[in-house]
Amino acid sequence: MSFHNQLKNKIVAKENALRSINGQKLKGRKIVFTNGCFDILHPGHVDYLTQARDLGNFLVLGLNTDNSVKRLNKAPNRPVNTENWRAYILAALACVDLIVLFDEETPLELITFLKPDVLVKGNDYKAEDIVGYDVVKANGGEVITIPLLEGFSTTKLIEKLNK
């Protein structure tokens, strides 16, 4: 299989993600889930995703669709990159095993459906405030916050480019 097709195969519907996750769990692998917009990939994103992957054996990334990014009101011109391009770029990262797009305001429905072993967000959140905390804990999983690499944000990057 070509590398191009391998990347495309990482971007899946939630039903296909669940099949993959269940297969990984049967092999004794720990499933880690995180989510976000990941609009313009920068070193902070890569650092965060590699740290998240280190918390288990299989990293599933819930990616906001373009519509859900717009509803988050990040800025009128966001996302800069379309959901398909954002997913494709993220799929090229070795630390990301699967990408599932979600259109809801939060990833709660996706987390409930996939039942990851570990839910991860940056330490700009308190673990108890992370969407999906109750679901993951009720299933015997962990909710972990990890430090963010200082000085990197998509918003700051866009501001710098506009100067």
CA distance 72 to 78: 10
Q: What is the DSSP string of 78-117?
A: --SS-HHHHHHHHHTSTT--EEEEE-SSSSHHHHHHH--S
Q: Which domain holds residue 120?
A: 3-162
**Residue 134 is part of a domain; what is its CATH number?**
3.40.50.620
Whether the per-residue pLDDT at 108 is higher than 70: the answer is: yes
Put residue 67 in one of left, alpha, beta given phi > 0 → left and psi -120 to 50 → alpha.
alpha
Domain count within the chain = 1
Confidence band of 70 (pLDDT split at 50, 70, 90): confident
pLDDT of residue 153: 65
Residue range 54-79: mean pLDDT, rounded: 89
pLDDT of residue 111: 98
Global pTM? 0.91
E strand or H helix at 18: helix 14-26
Whether the per-residue pLDDT at 76 is higher than 90: the answer is: no
Residue pLDDT, tens place only, 7-43: 789 999 999 999 999 999 999 999 999 999 998 888 8
> Average pLDDT over the chain, rounded to whole?
91
Measure Cα distances from 153 to 51, 69, 148 in Å.
17, 15, 10
